[in-house]
């Protein structure tokens, strides 16, 4: 089964936040989802959030005050 398309973005974001506050197993039990489903949702949300972050390569532009 393709878990990627089973839930709305909003629900997946909710699951992600719940896992950050508790555990995968707790969210799985509370939401009546398998551990694999919760873990998949969490990982997908994590990857999406990482992709949205601006890339910082550690280089700062120096600003001259002169």
Domain edges within the chain: 3-51
pLDDT at 60 over 80: no
- Global confidence as pTM: 0.72
Q: How far apart are CA 48 and CA 11, in angstroms?
A: 14
pLDDT at 62 over 60: no
Q: Which two tokens stand for residue 53?
A: 């972050």
Distances in Å between the alpha carbon of 55 and those of 51, 52, 59, 61, 63? 9, 9, 11, 15, 20
């Amino acid at each position: 089964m393709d878990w990627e398309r089973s839930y709305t973005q909003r629900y997946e974001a909710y699951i992600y936040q719940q896992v950050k506050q508790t555990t995968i197993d707790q969210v799985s039990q509370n939401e009546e989802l398998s551990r694999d489903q919760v873990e998949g949702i969490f990982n997908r949300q994590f990857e999406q959030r990482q992709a949205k972050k601006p890339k910082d390569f550690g280089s700062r532009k120096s600003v001259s005050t002169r």
